A and B are shown apart, each in its own frame.
Chain A
Amino acid sequence: MSNQNWPLFEVFIRSKNGLSHKHVGSLHAADAPMAIENARDVYCRRNEGVSIWVVPSTQIVASDPEDAEALYEPAKDKIYRHPTFYTVPDEVGHM
């Protein structure tokens, strides 16, 4: 059996406890346990991580780039969500 039929997995690595898992790339594997083993070999050869997550790529639901404007544009003019929008006198210290 060729590995062409092996499903694609997305790989997430936690570099150390306290930090979130971060997407590092993907790989093919026959099943999930093998994906973990392969991820160890492919992405963790230099102490990159302390924990691995693998997710079948087909299970990732991604937003459509075509929708970008509708999704992200509305937040752009809401400057009042940022602390710098408000005036606080220097005399009262950091707030």
Chain B
Amino acid sequence: METTTLEHRFNQKIEREEKIEPKDWMPDDYRKNNIRQISQHAHSEIVGMLPEANWITRAPSLRRKVALLAKVQDEAGHGLYLYSAAETLGAGRDEMIDDLHSGKAKYSSIFNYPTTTWADIGAIGWLVDGAAITNQVALCRTSYGPYARAMVKICKEESFHQRQGYEIMCAMAFGTPEQKAMAQDALNRWWWPSLMMFGPTDSDSVHSQKSMDWKIKRYSNDELRQEFVDKTVAQAEYLGLTIPDPDLKYNEETGHYTFGEIDWKEFYQVISGNGPCNKERIEARRKAHEDGAWVREAANAFAQKRANQQVA
């Protein structure tokens, strides 16, 4: 069949809100765009384990420790669901991992910031997972079937991530003055990077328009960012904490909060490798992969041994 006919049919499917499945014809750019976005998303889950794992051994109670362990385990699992979804498009697992380790592939800029106190674990659950969930709930309706299904499963599992973070924030904000100060400090440091998680502003977003036309993305970066700000302000107020933005105020007419200018220079610096922890994160992933080589080798040897036994 001619490409124009195929493309016409494809566009009609998108128009009708029908999902695209792996064996369906799709334009090359649709495939590439999805591979890029899904693999970036997978890398973010995997690298996202690092800042939090930093606090597992120092969690202040058993309750907090099991919650944090379960959360980090989930992130490993979510990375794997997403890598598999990208593989349905023909991407190779090893190539994706290599691209992460070589710096060719990107991941969410937020994970390049350090977790310096226990309150950061609360702030990450509340804000970073809150922002991620806002983005991911929207992606449950993405046009590529395997990605949409992975998102549904991930959203369902992640709902506890934000709640455990907010529970930590409550404990600290209503604790001693020192604890409250730690909670405020964490909010100060994580607020702006959390807003940056939604990506560049719509007018500067390179991949956005095509992704919106193809319904890979269902809402623009700015729309999702606004939604996140709107639902988070009341949560900060309840804690008695101050969002570090003097320009933040409620607009009666629009029913939305207006907020200050994001420091895009910082965003692009961090994205291009110059954030506080970029080198450390990639180095940790590389080391984990290299240190795990003997395990993969041993597994292969054991599989071979078992196969030989079955033949014998």
Residues of chain A with a CB closer than 8 A to B70's CB: 78, 80-81
Among residues of A, the one whose C-beta sits closest to the C-beta of B20 is A17
* Contacts A17-B145, A18-B18, A93-B234; A80 near B166 (Cβ below 8 A): no
Residues of chain B with a CB closer than 8 A to A82's CB: 160
Residue A33 is within 8 A (CB to CB) of chain B in the complex: no
Among residues of B, the one whose C-beta sits closest to the C-beta of A81 is B70
Interface of A is mostly: loop
For residue A13, give the distance in angstroms from its CB to the closest CB of chain B: 13
Residue B201 is within 8 A (CB to CB) of chain A in the complex: no
Residue B19 is within 8 A (CB to CB) of chain A in the complex: yes
Tally of contact residues, A, Cβ under 8 A:
20
Contact B19 A17 (CB under 8 A): yes
Residue A74 is within 8 A (CB to CB) of chain B in the complex: no
Residue B205 is within 8 A (CB to CB) of chain A in the complex: no
Contact B66 A17 (CB under 8 A): no
Interface residues of B in 119-155 (CB under 8 A from A): 130, 145, 148-149
Residues of chain B with a CB closer than 8 A to A86's CB: 67, 160, 163-164, 166-167
Among residues of A, the one whose C-beta sits closest to the C-beta of B63 is A80
In the bound complex, what is the Cα–Cα distance between A95 and B162 (angstroms)? 7
Contact B163 A93 (CB under 8 A): no
Residues of chain B with a CB closer than 8 A to A73's CB: none
Residues of chain A with a CB closer than 8 A to B66's CB: 78, 80
Contact A88 B167 (CB under 8 A): yes
In the bound complex, what is the Cα–Cα distance between A85 and B66 (angstroms)? 12
Residue B235 is within 8 A (CB to CB) of chain A in the complex: yes
Residue B98 is within 8 A (CB to CB) of chain A in the complex: no
* Contacts A78-B70, A80-B67, A83-B159; A93 near B19 (Cβ below 8 A): no
Q: Mark A40-75, 1 if CB is under 8 A from B, else 0.
A: 000000000001000000000000000000000000
Q: Interface centre among B157, B166, B234, by most A CB within 10 Å? A: B166
Q: Mark B157-182, 1 if CB is under 8 A from A, else 0.
A: 10110111011001000000000000
Question: Quick one: which of A51, A81, A85, A92 contacts B21, CB cutoff 8 A?
Answer: A51
Question: Quick one: which of A17, A78, A81, A92 contacts B166, CB cutoff 8 A?
Answer: A92
Tally of contact residues, B, Cβ under 8 A:
29
Residue B23 is within 8 A (CB to CB) of chain A in the complex: yes
Residue A87 is within 8 A (CB to CB) of chain B in the complex: yes
Contact B21 A14 (CB under 8 A): yes
Contact A88 B163 (CB under 8 A): yes
In the bound complex, what is the Cα–Cα distance between A88 and B164 (angstroms)? 9
Contact A92 B234 (CB under 8 A): yes
Residue B287 is within 8 A (CB to CB) of chain A in the complex: no
Contact B159 A87 (CB under 8 A): no
Residue B294 is within 8 A (CB to CB) of chain A in the complex: no
Interface residues of B in 230-270 (CB under 8 A from A): 231, 234-235, 238
Sample of 18 more A-B contacts, CB < 8 Å, known A17-B13, A85-B67: A14-B21, A19-B145, A51-B23, A80-B70, A80-B164, A81-B70, A81-B74, A83-B159, A83-B160, A86-B164, A88-B167, A91-B234, A92-B234, A93-B231, A93-B234, A93-B235, A95-B159, A95-B163
Identify 21 residue pairs between A and B in the complex whose beta-carbon atoms are under 8 Å apart, listed by A's number: A17-B145, A18-B19, A18-B145, A18-B148, A19-B149, A51-B21, A51-B23, A80-B63, A80-B66, A81-B70, A81-B74, A86-B67, A86-B163, A87-B167, A91-B238, A92-B166, A92-B234, A92-B235, A92-B238, A93-B231, A93-B234
User: Which residues of B approach A to under 8 Å, CB–CB?
Assistant: 13, 18-21, 23-24, 63, 66-67, 70, 74, 130, 145, 148-149, 157, 159-160, 162-164, 166-167, 170, 231, 234-235, 238
User: Which residues of A approach B to under 8 Å, CB–CB?
Assistant: 14, 17-20, 51, 78, 80-83, 85-89, 91-93, 95
